[in-house]
Structure 1
Amino acid sequence: MSDAAKCPSARRVTVMINEHVADVRLNRPDKHNGLDWAMIDAILGAQAELRARAEEGGLRAIVLSGEGASFCAGLDMAAIMGEAARVPQLLVAGANGCTPERNTVQQLALGWRDAGVPVIAALQGNVFGGGLQIALGADVRLCDPDARLAVLEIAWGIIPDMGISVTARGVRPDWLHELSWSGRKVAAREALEARLQSGLLGQPEHMECVGARLEGRTPRF
């Protein structure tokens, strides 16, 4: 029998749990799932709900994706600045229910690791800035061949510090530096070479690599 449940934060993030697997979807497709305050609050709420579920033994894996054309195009700066009084909360450790060691934007990425179960991100379309850093918080990232990825914070003159020093440890450092400094958008196949992502959807040889990762073995790149 399936066990379906919805997260309370269903307007910006939907969570359906079926057979102990959580299907988590960013749900602002008209804005390419850009991060506004409602989306940020919903992601934090979903992470807390799933962490509690996992601690109860009712969760075995999480699949993270985005509705519509893109996974997540990053911060919606116009929407964020529309509530300017909240902006300092993004960088204050312990704000919005985060632990004292993390601020809000770090929690958006690192929070997926707290669930204690495998998290697989399915990426399509634009995966930019904060969207890419959220995806890096997953254990495995599978890309549509037409996806584009970018560490885009340089375009806003801000540091890409959403836990990336932890989440990007498997990424080639030279590529990570260049992409962070340039803001260049890369295609899914180039992102695979840089190890920003784990495999291409629909490519059996890449699925073998993903399976090896989940089993704790060294994948062949």
Structure 2
Amino acid sequence: MKTVTVTIENHIAQVTLSRPEQSNSLIFDTFKDLTEAANQLAENNTVRVIVLTGAGKHFCAGLDRSLFPQKPGTVDWFEEHVFNELDELAANLFQRCVTAWQQIPIPVIAAVNGAALGGGCQVALGADIRIADATTKMSLMETHWGLIPDMAVSLTLPPLMPKDVAAEILLSARILDAQEAKATGLVTQLTDDCYASAMALAKNIAAKSPEAIRATKKLYQAAWGEPKPELLRLEAQLQRSLLGTSNQVESVRANLEKRQPVFNE
């Protein structure tokens, strides 16, 4: 894997986004690597818990700008490389790197420091538990770029917060500091050192019966509602309708040029 490293020690797997010079921004390979890592660990019976983290100062700054649709009609590339990646749950490649962590029978703890923006925030939401520190900033900022969050947010967000809170976060696309991320439910726990705390919790979990650990995840996943593939299909459908439109492209250009967008009515 080019963008993700996996290490296993004492029944704990550590999955690390490993592009620190680029703030672990998401490129095409990252989506595939995250999914591959989850699929490999799902088959490893020695692993009892997973810690998902980012190398360096940031968990994940979101979609790399090289993937931003900046020309009208660029939906064709996404149709070929993203929207044709279907399985029984996920409706596109982007969703798969999140749903894979939801479906894996092993609990996943995300250690979230620095930026967790856009797609980076959605990757963190794929974990069962999110531990952050004072440096953490989170945002579901896709409307800022003329898009919607389409990385399984319809699966991961509803159990965490009321609809009106989610609506404000999604529509405003604003960046939340660590305290507000905790208050809204995006973060499970705030600590002085998110990585140390995540590893301490992982060691606690790894010391327990592996069958009980897996059964417990199966129970809480079922109790909070089975995933609905039709909602993930809706995410993909709505994103398709926005990608490459004149107003979506104008959103990207205006942000990159640091000016107010001028939209077609």
TM-score by length of 2: 0.67
Which piece of structure 1 moves more, 84-93 or 158-167? 84-93
Q: 2 CA distance for matches of 1:91 and 1:140?
A: 27
**Map of 2:65 onto structure 1:** 77
Superposed counterparts of 1:66-215, under 5 Å: 66-79=54-67, 86-89=77-80, 91-92=82-83, 95=85, 98-102=86-90, 103-172=92-161, 173-202=163-192
Measure, in 1, the Cα distance between the counterparts of 2:21 and 2:182: 27
After superposition, the Cα gap between the structure-2 partners of 1:89 and 1:70, relative to the gap in structure 1 and judged at 3 Å, is farther
Once residues 35 and 199 of structure 1 are traced to their aligned partners in structure 2, the CA distance between those partners, rounded to angstroms, is 25
Q: Is the CA contact 2:110–2:130 (under 8 Å) kept in the aligned structure 1?
A: yes
- What's the offset of the Cα at 1:141? 0.2
Structure 2: gaps (5+ residues): 205-212, 218-265
Given the alignment of the two structures, is residue 37 of structure 1 paired with residue 28 of structure 2, yes or no? yes
Q: CA, structure 1 residues 66+186, in 2 after alignment: closer, same or farther (shift >3 Å)?
A: same
- Residue number in structure 1 paired with 2:5: 14
Whichever residue aligns with residue 108 of structure 1, its letter is C
1:46 CA drift (Å): 0.9
d(CA) in 2 for partners of 1:51, 1:107: 14
CA distance in 2, matches of 1:108, 1:80: 18
Task: Say if 1:25 and 1:65, in contact at 8 Å, map to a contact too.
Answer: yes
For the 8 Å contact 1:13–1:39, the answer to whether it is kept is yes
| 1:31/1:18 CA distance change after superposition, 3 Å | same
**Number of residues of Structure 1 aligned to a counterpart in Structure 2:** 194
1:51 Cα deviation from its structure 2 partner? 1.5
Q: Shift of residue 187 of structure 1? A: 0.5
User: For the aligned residues, what is the CA RMSD?
Assistant: 2.5
Q: 2: CA distance between counterparts of 1:19 and 1:34? A: 29
Higher relative contact order (CA 8 A, sep 6+): 2
Q: Is the 8 A contact 2:25 2:64 kept in 1?
A: yes
Q: Could you give the per-residue CA deviations for residues 110-166 of structure 1, whole angstroms, max 9, x where no partner exists?
A: 110222111000001110011111111100000111210000111111111211111
8 Å Cα contact 1:90-1:105 kept in structure 2: no
Secondary structure class of the residue paired with 1:41: helix
Q: CA deviation at 1:79?
A: 4.3
Q: State whether residues 94 and 151 of structure 2, in contact with CA within 8 Å, keep that contact through their aligned partners in structure 1.
A: yes
5+ residue gaps, structure 1: 1-8, 217-221
Q: Deviations over 1:179-221 (max 9, x none)?
A: 1111100101111110011011239xxx8xx89xx989xxxxx
Deviation (angstroms), 1:87: 2.1
The code of the aligned residue for 2:179 comes to R
CA contact (8 A) 2:42 2:106 kept: no
Q: Could you tell me the TM-score, scaled by structure 1's length?
A: 0.79
Percent sequence identity over aligned pairs? 33
Q: 1:59-82 CA distances to partner (integer Å, 9 max, x unpaired)?
A: 100000000111011111314669
Q: Deviations over 1:78-106 (max 9, x none)?
A: 14669x7642246525x1xx414312111
Residue 171 (structure 1) shift: 2.5
| 2:50 pairs with 1:62 | yes
